[in-house]
Structure formats: C-alpha cells, structure tokens
C-alpha cells in the first residue's frame, strides 16, 4: 500500500497529493474546488478544533454564529475589503428552482430572482460588524470577544486539497474594543495563541511576525502571522491575526459612549486558522512511507496488530492486547486494536504507517511466552521490545518523546534552511534551492514586487524576533539603507 | 428586565420571541430569514452538540465533511427528493463580482456565470451518495456510518428564530448498509438515540413513531420521528430518522459485491436534528419570568450573586463564593460569580432568571455571620437556606432534582393534554383547545388531507407505543375500520 506513494525526492507535490488521498484524509468532490474531508482527516481536524477552542475559551472568548450569506452591498462598504474579495465570490441570485417547461429536469425559476444578490461569506467582518452595531452602545458593552467556527467560500481558480480550496472550514475571531491599544494587544495575543498551538500540538516551529503592506488582509491596518517551513523549503502561512483599526466600525457606523461621555468609533481585531493547517501538518512531518502525526493530534495514538498463525493464538494475543489497552485508555491514550482477520500483519503495518499512527504495538505467540511486546515508533521507524507489564507506562513516555522529537526534527530542518543573505546573486541561487532567506529590504512595495517578479519569492513576514533581525544593512535588491532583516521565501 | 416579557397567557407566540431575544439567545440578521445565534444561545447549542456527538460516536459513527454546494443536476436524480426541495433553494449562479461600469459599487460579473448552477445544500443525500459511489465496491466496505455537522439552507418564506430559519445548523447522519434489515435497524436505533437525548438531557418527554406517507422526508421509504408537546399544546417535530431503501443508491448507481459474489444496490438511512431543538427547549420549559434550562444543558448551572452594602462586605462575600465555586468546579459544575459592581442584586436576580440558570446562590453579610447561603431554584422559584459547608454537596443534588423535576413537569403537562377522541365533533373542539389527540384513522392520505383542511391538525406520527394505540375502531373522519390510533395535533 505505502509503495504507491511517490517519493518526496521524485515529486514533492505528487507525494503530498498521494498522502492526502491514500491516507484517507480528503478527496476532491464533484463540485469544482470543494473537497470531501474523510473521517480520518476530519478526526484530526476535530482534535485541532477541540484544542484551539479550549485555548480561545481560556483567553476569554465565546462562540457565536453569524449568517452564511452577506448582502452584496455590505461587501462594498469597506473599499479595500471588497477589492480583496470581489473577484472570488460565490453569488446567490435566485431562491427557487422549477420544472423545466422543455422537459430538461429542473431549471432556475426566473421569477425567484433576489432583489439584492447574496455573497457566500468569504470572511465575516462585514456581516458581523453590521451586527455589532446593535450590540454596542456604551463602553460597558466592550470588549466583545467572539469566535465563530464556520465554512467559508473563496472561488479560487487553482485549488489543492486542504491548501487552497473553494470551500474550507475555519474559525474566525472578531473582537471589538474601546481602545486602539486593547485591539492591538488582542491581535498580538491571538497570533501567539496560534504559535503556541503550532509548536505544542502540531509540533511545527513557526516564525511569528508582521506582514508587509502588500501581503496584508484586505481591510486591515496590521496583519500578524505565523509562517511554517515545509520539507521542500517553501513557506506556508498557517494563521493570521489582524488589527483592523476603526475601518469596519466606520464602514458600519459602530460607535460607543466612553466612560467620560464622549462618542468614539470602536476598535477591532480579527484572526483565523483553517483546514489549511491540515496541509501544514502533512507537509511538515510526513515521509515516504506516509503521514507522521504528532501524538497530540493523532486520532489513534497507538495501534495494536496481533501476530498469529492459528486462531487460538489470536485469541490469547487479543486478550493480552485488551488488557494493555484498558490501562492505556485509563491514562487518556487512544488505542485501536486492528483485529481484521482478512489481512496480513505486514499489510496492516504498512497501512498504519501510511496513516501516521505514532506507536505500533505488535504481540505474537513468542511475546506471550516471554511476556514482552514489540513497540515501533512511527517517527524514527525504530523498534524496541519491552516487558508487557511496563508497556502502558513505556508507551505514555514514548508518545511524549515522539511529540518532542517530531518538533525537534522540524526545528533542525528549519534552522538548517534559514540563511542570512546579503548579495542579490546569492539570493537568486539560494531561493531556488528552497529555504528561508533573512535579508535587508528597503521597505518599499516596489522593491518587494520586483523581487517577486524575478524570483517568485515574497516577504513572508517581518519577524518579531528582534535579536536575529534588528541590524543595519542595505537592501538586497536596491542597495538602499535598511534597519532590519525580513523573511523571504517562496510560499504555498 | 423580566417584566418586558409578554406573558404566555396573553400571547404565546410573542412570549417565545421575547424569550429568544431578551435572554440573548438569537436575533434576526440583515439577511432575510437568517439568524445570528448569540453567545449564550450558542453555548446551549454547543452543549447539545457535545452530548449528541458523544452518543453518535458511542454508537459507532464517525464525522466527516461534504461540500456546501450541490450541482443542480444531482438534485434531479431522485424524483421525490427534487420535488421536495426545489422550491426553497438558494442558487449560486456566478463566481465573481466586478466594479459597476456605471459607478454603483459592485455588480455581478456577467462573464463569471457558472456552467451549471450550484444549490446551497438543503440536505446532503445527493452529494454524499455521489461520494459513496467511490467508497463502496464490496460488502467489506460496509457499513458506512458517517455523520456531518453543518449548516444548511432552505428558503422558507415565513421564518421564526430557531423554529424555521432559511439557514440553520444541524447534524445529518448518512449510513450505507448491505441489507435492508441493517438499514432499518440503524434508522430505528438513531431515532431512539434522539429520544434518549430529548428525555435525559433536554428533559422533554417525546413520543416516538412513524410518519404517514404525506409527512415523510422527500426520498424516504419510512420516516421515524420524535414529537414533543409545547406549552400551548402544539406539537414540535424535534428529530427525524429515515429509512431510504435503495432510492439514493439507485439514483447514484451505488452497488456492492456481496459475500457470495453477486452485485446489489446499497441500503441507506439518514437522520438529523437541528437548531430547532433550541426552540423546543425554550417552549417546553420556559415561564413568564424567562427561560428554564435543564441543568444538563445549562451553560451556567449555578450563578452566585453577592449581597452587600459596603465594599469591604463585598470582598468577604466574594472570598466565600470563590471557596464554594472551587468545590463545585471540582464536582464538574459550571459556576459564574456575578461580581458586576454597577447593578443592583434585584436586577441581577431577574436577569439570571430570564436566562434560566438552574440554581442561584446569594450570600450576604448576615449569611457570612451565620455561615449560611441562600439557594434559589429556577424551576420552582423556591428558596432554601443551607449551611455554607454543605452547600456544594446540596447544590449537586439540587441540580439533579431540578433536571428530574423539569422532566416530570413536562411529562405531567403532556399526559394531561393527550386524549383518546372518538367523535368528530369532539375532535374539532379539543383540537382548538390545544393538545394531542389519539384517534382512529382509515389510513388514506385523502382523509388526512381533509382533516388538515378543516382543522389544521396533522398526523404527527403513528406511535411505536403499541399498548396505547393498538386497538380496533373506526376512523374519526370517514368512519371506516382502523386497527390502531394515530397521533393528531397542530404543529410548529
């Protein structure tokens, strides 16, 4: 089974698609650009959701739900916002079908045309700020700290499973504040929540920073982001958090009475991560045998495969497995016993490797005699034999080791693929090899655009990490003076 | 605050709307028929989701996600299905907006017309069975037990918050089986899961039964349902589970190879509950002071309101409250301390009553002296004083009592509003008073339709409960022979 996966060295992009489809994570649907998220893929997304939701609630946020549809006129209220989203909108124009008078099934009923077209939300700032107008009148109504789990649609022309799909699932936080400082603080807090989640659950070392003007969210004053490195050295933007200033408050006339009796526009932030995180998870850790899931997000953390020749052996092996499983479940570990009787154990090994299960336990008749079990690690593909009695404890510590090791591996990879580059010739060579380049830049969109045209590299962010980046130098392209390095890479 | 609620006796329908809006559950949005579910309402829905999801997983189901859009041609494949949904569809016809050449903001770009229109899913049988075609080839691929949490759109002309909205949130289970018996068993199992959930979490005594042909889901062979009685004696369909036979397998050509090597069409079930459950919860238990939430679904189970005159009293009271809260949290109880300093305690009492919090704890300076606390029950509006030391324990048992009492109250109400009626004259009188009527029916859609025309009553279901209904008699309307009673009511 795993043999059908294209090796990364041969074709990284095909390797990714193979993994997504063959590990049963997602597939393309009959609707252009829309995917079906299959049970195994959805189970990983659910674990992500569960943890993020917990972190949002711990930071004081509540969930709510706003309409799927946005009146066309709402989009136009914020000039940059409509500019950013108008070209990729699914537009609802009618509310009824009818039997085709010519006998060709059903057709759109021309009498059911909507007075105003509705846009399937590409993001919800407009409909939410139109709602907040009724929720906010005094400083006592602030802050509003709301998050929404929802589907959104952006009519992308070139789509790829998880990475860029017409419909995707995400969460979008939308907060309202009395002061600029508070809104900025919120945007910063949430990008750090994302970084924490990426590092400690996805085992991905991300770089936190600020977007340049040209890469900003349409309607934001400041966009903060986390950027992850994939195994081909390309960057993947894994989450963004925006300080929106008073742009949407002004567009929807949302003011509040201050403690002193004045009237002010409200300040805003919004922030989101999506099923794109699934793509990051796959590409950051997978190998030529399949997925490598960090234990913290693996739907099945331990799989047990019985080894046997005769049915009575199977029975004894399964009894031992159930015993160990029970201990593990008590410790909060999710375990699957693969007792399918029509498949060889070698086939099962390959299948669970493909699916990235962190720990595989094999028990055969000889293990029963010796009171041992065989533990196999997905991350290193190494095996060890351990006493059956101490197996539960060993597995728990192994899961912890694996989580840390996957992170360390990704961190070492990233650190060995980041370079400070100071010559344009070197830039052009290095960027082709893949990796992140820390370079000086003159701060203009023109230079940024030219670099993109010539090399396809973009400024992923202006990293927060000042000790690495804060130094005097000259722009890699124009030679003009610069006070700090920024992060260049080709990106997904 | 609570005084603004219209009493039930004056206008039941207005009372409902008042509760939904004033308790902060939901409100109408700028988009016709689409609601905003506010944080407090969404928190209740999350508790419902969480419990249902647990029950689905315990019965072997996995979650997945399918596209929001359905190609128009898919709907037409199953004749009854398209007939049932074509008239209330949101239709996407274009995928881009453009700047209006006449300068009026943005308009639909006529060049971005879709080749085939897309329907925003009103339900997902068609897109899912088109997907299952690729998932199923052998009996080894069956059963498929999949559920989806999603938003759906049905373009209803007359909408009411939670009860009937153009967009609503729901879950839809879609299962595939090798045999008719297994699919039927699944449909029955899931309607019973719904009944269990309604009784033990929503504290609503539901009647389980089968729909008549005219009330069936469009495309189903059999529709099972749970029906709840609201306080005005009307029925609310709270969940449905369908045996779909091979209708969708035939429409999408989904066959499997049997164990014996034959080729058969696959059998199907589907089942769903929606945010409509919120409406049932509100109408089944609320009173003229506001919501009455069953503890099992209350986002805040206990609210603590400090009583004080001087700031130093507040401090001591809050310290005691935190102590008790900590104990309660350990026992898994969700507690809120209402320490807002700009509101009188009377105002707070009314607000938490409006929001239906099951138990209110008040502590004042005199309580501190006596080491007591005052506990108030939302369901009975009674108070008791108890020792501060035993308060946590007492509150836990009180929550259990309240859950049971709310159920019992709803059950008594229902039982005192169900009548066996055998004369048409009595039927017409009783149905106007509100309540459920168990009557004989001749089994024809014609009679059912005539009764509906004359009285607005419909057959809610043919109850499973055979000891109550299985008896010989004559149809209430036509006088023709009948072998069992069915349940008539006016319905939401």
Which pLDDT score is estimated for A469?
A: 84
Q: Among all residues of chain B, which has the CA nearest to that of A165?
A: B67
Domains of chain A with CATH codes: 2-285 (3.30.930.10), 302-398 (3.40.50.800), 418-489 (3.30.110.30)
Which of the pair, B104 or B271, is modelled with greater confidence?
B271
- Over range B466-481, report the average pLDDT: 91
Portion 328-387 of A in contact with B at CB < 8 A: 342
CA B282 – CA B21 distance, rounded (Å): 12
- What is the predicted pLDDT for the residue at B465? 84
SS3 (DSSP) at A296 = helix
Q: From CA A169, how far away is CA A165, in angstroms rounded?
A: 10
Rounded to the nearest angstrom, the minimum Cα separation between B84 and chain A is 11
Mean pLDDT (whole number) for B311-321: 94
Q: How is B431-468 classified by DSSP, letter by letter?
A: HHH-SEEEEE--S-HHHHHHHHHHH--EEEEEES-HHH
Please give, one letter per residue, the 3-state secondary structure of A32-88.
Answer: CCCEEECHHHHHHHHHHHHHHHHHHHHCCCEECECCCEEEHHHHHCCHHHHHHHHHH
Chain B residues whose CB is inside 8 A of the A80 CB are none
What is the C-alpha separation between B248 and B176, in angstroms, rounded? Answer: 10
C-alpha distances (whole Å) from A87 to each of A79, A332, B97, B99, B359 are 14, 47, 6, 10, 52
In this prediction, residue A78 has a pLDDT band, given cuts at 50, 70 and 90, of: confident
Could B34 and A69 be called an inter-chain contact, meaning their C-beta atoms sit closer than 8 Å?
Answer: yes
pLDDT classification of A1: cutoffs 50, 70, 90: very low
Alpha carbons within 13 A on the beta-carbon side of B486 = 24
pLDDT tens-place string over residues B327-358:
999 999 999 999 998 899 999 999 999 999 99
Nearest to A154, CA basis, from A295, A320, A272: A272
Is A319 an 8 Å CB contact of chain B? no
- Provide the shortest C-alpha distance from residue A12 to chain B (in Å): 26
Would you say B463 and B191 are in contact if contact means Cβ atoms under 8 Å apart? no
**Predicted ipTM of the assembly:** 0.97
CA–CA distance, A137 with A134 (Å, rounded to integer): 8
| pLDDT greater than 80 at residue A179 | yes
Measured between beta carbons, the chain A residues lying within 8 angstroms of B89 are 95-97
Alpha-carbon distances, residue B315 vs A401, A452, B360 (angstroms): 46, 61, 19
With b meaning 16 or more CB within 10 Å and e meaning fewer, what string describes A95-123?
A: bbbeeeeeeeebbbbeebebeebbbbbbb
Under 8 Å CB-to-CB from A209, ≥6 apart: which residues?
A: A224, A225, A227, A460, A461, A462, A463, A464, A465, A487
Sign of CA dihedral B44, B48, B53, B54: positive
Chain A residue with CA closest to B109: the answer is A87
Rounded to a whole number of angstroms, the distance from the CA of A231 to the nearest CA of chain B is: 28
DSSP state for residue B131 in the 8-state scheme: H
**Structure tokens of A160?**
């790829």
* Cβ-defined contact of B106 to A70 (cutoff 8 Å): no
Mean pLDDT of chain B: 96
Among chain A residues, the shortest Cα distance to B71 is held by: A31
Nearest to A91 among B95, B155, B169 (CB): B95
Does the pLDDT value for residue A388 go beyond 90?
Answer: yes
Confidence check: pLDDT of A7 > 90: yes
User: In the predicted model, what is the mean pLDDT of residues A480-485?
Assistant: 96
Cβ contact, residue pair A67, B105, below 8 Å: no
Put simply, the chain B residues between 93 and 132 with a CB less than 8 A from any chain A CB are: 93-99, 105-106, 108, 117-120, 127, 130-131
At residue A264, the 3 state secondary structure works out as strand
How large is the average pLDDT for residues B88-94?
97
Min Cα separation B441/chain A (Å): 34
Cβ–Cβ below 8 Å for B130 and A30: yes
Q: Do A62 and B82 touch (CB under 8 A)?
A: no
Residue in the structure block whose two tokens are 């971005």: B112
- CA A201-A204-A208 angle, to 5 degrees, is 105
- For B467, residues 6+ apart whose C-beta sits below 8 A from its C-beta are none
Residue A482 has pLDDT above 50, yes or no: yes
CA atoms within 13 A on the CB side of B295: 25
Number of A–B residue contacts, CB under 8 Å: 196
| pLDDT for residue B2 is more than 60 | no
The DSSP symbol for A30 reads S
Bridge-partner residues for B168, per DSSP? B152
Tokens at B448, concatenated: 């059912």
Is B272:B173 a contact under the CB 8 Å cutoff? Answer: yes
Best residue in A89, A114, A119, A170 for a mutation probing chain B (most B CBs within 10 Å): A89
Per-residue confidence (pLDDT) for residue B4, from 0 to 100: 86
What is the CA A175 to chain-centroid distance, rounded? Answer: 21
Quick one: CA torsion of A401, A407, A408, A409, rounded to 10 degrees?
Answer: 110
pLDDT at position B148 over 60: yes
Note the pLDDT of residue B1.
46
pLDDT score at B284: 97
Contacts of A275 (CB under 8 A, 6+ apart): A37, A45, A162, A165, A168, A169, A170
Which residues numbered 386-445 in A keep a CB inside 8 Å of some CB on B? none
Look at residue A3 in the predicted model and tell me its pLDDT: 58
pLDDT in tens, B373-407: 999 999 999 999 999 999 999 999 999 999 999 99
Distance, first Cα to last Cα, chain A: 28
Q: How far apart are the first and last CA of chain B?
A: 28
Q: Express each pLDDT in A436-481 by its tens digit.
A: 999 999 999 999 999 999 999 999 999 998 777 899 999 999 999 9
DSSP E strand stretches across B215-363: 222-229, 235-245, 255-257, 263-265, 267-274, 302-306, 335-337, 359-363
- Residues near A56 by beta carbon (within 8 Å), at least 6 away in sequence: A63, A147, A171, A173, A193
Q: Which residue has the higher pLDDT, A101 or A52?
A: A52
> Do A36 and B119 make contact, defined as CB atoms within 8 angstroms?
no
* Burial grade of A366 (CB within 10 A; 0-12, 13-18, 19 or more): exposed
Q: Tell if the CB–CB gap between A342 and B140 is shorter than 8 Å.
A: yes
What pLDDT score was predicted for residue A105?
83
Please classify residue B250 by burial: count the beta carbons closer than 10 Å to its beta carbon, then call 0-12 exposed, 13-18 middle and 19+ buried.
Answer: middle
Half-sphere exposure of A196 (CA within 13 A, CB side): 12
Structure-token pair, residue B459: 């057959």
* pLDDT-based confidence at residue B104 (cuts at 50, 70, 90): confident
Distance between CA atoms of residues A373 and A383, nearest Å: 10
- B251 has pLDDT over 50: yes
| Whether B67 and A119 lie within 8 Å, measured CB to CB | no
Of A36, A82, A155, the CB nearest to B67: A36
The answer to whether residue A145 scores a pLDDT higher than 70 is yes
**In B, residues 68-97, which contact A (CB 8 Å cutoff)?**
68-76, 82, 86-97
Judged by a CB distance cut-off of 8 A, whether residue B35 touches chain A is yes
The mean pLDDT of B39-64, rounded to a whole number, is 98
Q: Distance between CA atoms of B81 and B86, rounded to whole angstroms?
A: 8
Residue B3's pLDDT is what?
58
pTM of the model: 0.97
pLDDT the model gives residue B220 = 96
Structure tokens at A436: 């992140």
For A363, half-sphere exposure in the C-beta direction (CA atoms, 13 angstrom radius) is 29
What secondary structure does DSSP assign to B65-101, as a single string?
A: B--SEEEHHHHHTSHHHHHHHGGG--EEEES-EEE-T
């Amino acid at each position: 089974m795993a043999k059908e996966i294209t090796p990364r060295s041969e074709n990284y992009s095909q390797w990714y698609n193979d993994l997504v489809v063959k590990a049963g994570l997602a597939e393309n649907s009959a609707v252009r650009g829309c995917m079906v998220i299959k049970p195994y893929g959805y189970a990983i997304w659910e674990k992500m959701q569960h943890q993020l939701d917990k972190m949002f609630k711990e930071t004081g946020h509540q969930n709510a739900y706003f309409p799927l549809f946005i009146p066309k006129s709402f989009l136009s209220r914020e000039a940059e916002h409509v500019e950013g989203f108008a070209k990729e909108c699914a537009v609802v124009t009618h509310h009824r079908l009818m039997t085709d008078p010519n006998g060709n099934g059903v057709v759109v009923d021309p009498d059911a045309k909507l007075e105003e077209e509705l846009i399937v939300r590409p993001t919800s700032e407009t409909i939410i700020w139109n709602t907040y107008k009724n929720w906010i009148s005094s400083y006592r109504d602030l802050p509003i700290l709301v998050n929404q789990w929802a589907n959104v649609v952006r009519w992308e022309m070139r789509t790829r499973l998880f990475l860029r799909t017409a419909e995707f699932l995400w969460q979008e936080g939308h907060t309202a504040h009395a002061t600029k400082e508070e809104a900025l603080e919120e945007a910063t807090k949430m990008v750090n929540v994302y970084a924490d989640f990426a590092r400690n659950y996805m085992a991905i070392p991300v770089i936190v920073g600020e977007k340049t003007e040209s890469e900003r969210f349409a309607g934001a004053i400041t966009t903060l982001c986390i950027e992850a490195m994939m195994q081909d050295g390309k960057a993947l933007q894994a989450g963004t958090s925006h300080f929106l200033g008073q742009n949407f408050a002004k567009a929807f006339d949302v003011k509040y009475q201050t403690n002193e009796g004045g009237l002010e526009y409200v300040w805003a932030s919004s922030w989101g991560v999506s099923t794109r995180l699934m793509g990051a998870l796959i590409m950051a850790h997978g190998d030529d045998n399949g997925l490598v899931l960090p234990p913290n997000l693996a739907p099945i953390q331990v799989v047990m495969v019985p080894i046997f020749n005769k049915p009575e052996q199977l029975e004894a092996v399964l009894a031992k497995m159930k015993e160990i499983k029970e201990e593990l479940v008590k410790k909060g570990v999710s375990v699957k016993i693969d007792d399918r009787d029509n498949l060889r154990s070698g086939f099962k090994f390959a299948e669970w490797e493909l699916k990235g299960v962190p720990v595989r336990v094999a028990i055969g008749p000889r293990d029963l005699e010796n009171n041992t079990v065989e533990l196999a690690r997905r991350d290193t593909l190494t095996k060890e034999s351990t006493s059956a009695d101490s197996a539960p404890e060993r597995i728990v510590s192994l899961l912890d080791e694996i989580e840390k090791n996957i992170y360390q591996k990704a961190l070492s990879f990233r650190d060995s693929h980041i370079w400070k580059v100071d010559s344009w010739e070197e830039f052009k060579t290095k960027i082709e090899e893949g990796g992140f380049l820390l370079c000086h830049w003159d701060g203009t969109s023109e230079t940024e655009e030219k670099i993109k045209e010539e090399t396809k590299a973009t400024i992923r962010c202006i990293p927060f990490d000042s000790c690495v980046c804060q130094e005097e130098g000259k722009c890699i392209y124009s030679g003009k003076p610069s006070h700090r390095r920024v992060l260049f890479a080709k990106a997904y």
